């Protein structure tokens, strides 16, 4: 199928009433979002203001002529649209494949409506079998890795594939650690709570009860609106 599913999901997001009526739009990071950015109608760049979850997205938006604001200037946005690495049956997500999870979680939290755009390959039964990224303050890295071992989780510092030796450093200057939580015995919410309790963990890539709509692009795009639980 290639990228068709991602493109269909992105197209459907732009048809949401919540997007059409929005004034301030948050845009996430990744290849699905790249489709979204290329599909945004020209007139929207005159009418709407954008905020980006990463420098990459900010630059792509700017290239298309968008007005892009810094997140620090905003306390609320109308809609946030982003991809995900995995989505379970309840609409919970794993995010952070592009190392932007911290800013992504801030934008999702400050949004009135959070729409997730994915292709069918992202649908999973349980999030714990996916690699779960966390962002860690560099000063706390060894301590956090020790605490993860104590929780019997395997944590791997993410390394750049090319162009840089050593750890991937996020746009917020954190180190990304990818977790194998497949042996975790308790629920995913408890995992998230325990991880966030470790001093030095800046954020986790678990987005639990945050999405308002999951748009899955396949042969067509299926939009599923969820009732927000917001934890």
Sign of CA dihedral 19, 189, 206, 77: positive
100's tokens: 């932007």
User: Does the protein bind ligand 5RP through residue 155 (CB under 6 A)?
Assistant: no
Region near ligand 5RP per CB under 6 A, out of 19-27, 29-37, 40-48, 217-225: 29-37
Q: Using CB under 6 A, which of 30, 91, 155, 217 touches ligand 5RP?
A: 30
# residues contacting ligand 5RP (CB under 6 A): 17
Q: What is the DSSP letter of 159?
A: B
> What is the chain's percent helix, strand, coil content, to nearest 5?
35, 30, 35
User: Does the protein bind ligand 5RP through residue 111 (CB under 6 A)?
Assistant: no
- Collect all residues with Cβ–Cβ distance below 8 Å to 19 and sequence separation of at least 6: 13, 25, 79, 81, 115
User: Does the protein bind ligand 5RP through residue 101 (CB under 6 A)?
Assistant: yes
Q: Using CB under 6 A, which of 5, 26, 91, 98 touches ligand 5RP?
A: 98
User: Does the protein bind ligand 5RP through residue 171 (CB under 6 A)?
Assistant: no
Decide the pairing of beta strands 131-136 and 175-180. antiparallel
Is residue 212 within 8 Å of 13, Cβ to Cβ?
A: no
Considering only residues 31 through 70, tell me which ones interact with ligand 5RP, judged by CB under 6 A. 31-32
Region near ligand 5RP per CB under 6 A, out of 27-35, 44-52, 156-164, 176-184: 27-35
User: Does the protein bind ligand 5RP through residue 29 (CB under 6 A)?
Assistant: yes
For the CB of residue 152, give the shortest distance to ligand 5RP in the complex, in Å.
25
Rounded Cα–Cα distance for residues 144 and 119 (Å): 33
Residues that bind ligand 5RP (CB under 6 A): 28-32, 82-85, 95-101, 104
């Amino acid at each position: 199928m290639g990228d068709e599913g991602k493109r269909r999901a992105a197209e459907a997001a732009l048809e949401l009433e919540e997007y059409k009526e929005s004034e301030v739009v948050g845009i996430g990071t990744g290849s699905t979002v790249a489709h979204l950015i290329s599909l945004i109608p020209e007139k929207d760049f005159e009418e709407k203001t954008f905020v980006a979850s990463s420098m990459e997205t900010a630059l792509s938006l700017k290239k298309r002529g968008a007005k892009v604001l810094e997140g620090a200037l905003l306390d609320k946005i109308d809609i946030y649209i982003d991809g995900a690495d995995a989505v379970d049956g309840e609409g919970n997500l794993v995010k952070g494949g592009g190392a932007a999870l911290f800013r992504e979680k801030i934008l999702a939290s400050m949004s009135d409506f959070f729409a997730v755009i994915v292709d069918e390959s992202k649908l999973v039964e349980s999030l714990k079998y996916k690699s779960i990224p966390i962002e860690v303050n560099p000063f706390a890295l060894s301590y956090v890795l020790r605490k993860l071992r104590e929780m019997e989780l395997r944590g791997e510092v993410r390394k750049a594939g090319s162009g840089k030796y050593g750890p991937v450093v996020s746009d917020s200057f954190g180190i990304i650690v990818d977790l194998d939580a497949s042996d975790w015995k308790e629920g995913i919410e408890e995992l998230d709570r325990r991880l966030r309790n470790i001093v030095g963990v800046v954020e986790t890539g678990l987005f639990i009860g945050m999405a308002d709509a999951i748009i899955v692009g396949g042969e067509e795009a299926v939009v599923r609106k969820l009732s927000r639980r917001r934890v």
